[in-house]
Amino acid sequence: MGCRIDDMRQFDVIIERDRVGFYLASVPALRGCHTQAKSLDTLLKRVREAIELCLEVEGEGPESLDFVGVQRVTVGT
């Protein structure tokens, strides 16, 4: 069963890579929506699945947020 264009939503996804080479994806607009994979292709497939599952659980989901940007901040430890 496919989605109609009117039913499509877009989400910003933050992608990082950890020390052992796994890619990590999180969806800031959906609390607890994250996944990981060894390749970017697999990661994108899994993050789509994670978004669909999060929307199933939360219902319609939150209102869309406007993406502003990502800023790296350095602090001393």
pLDDT, tens digit (0-9, with 9 covering 90-100), for 9-24? 889 999 999 999 999 9
* Domain residue spans of the chain: 5-58
Contact 45, 59 (CB under 8 A): no
Domain 5-58 class, CATH top level: alpha beta
pLDDT, tens digit (0-9, with 9 covering 90-100), for 46-76? 999 999 999 998 876 667 778 888 888 899 9
How is 14-46 classified by DSSP, letter by letter? EEEE-TTS-EEEE-TTSTT-EEEESSHHHHHHH
Tokens of 49: 């699945």
Of the candidates 12, 3, 5, 43, the residue with the CA atom closest to the CA atom of residue 30 = 12
Enter the DSSP assignment of 2.
P
pLDDT, tens digit (0-9, with 9 covering 90-100), for 40-54? 999 999 999 999 999
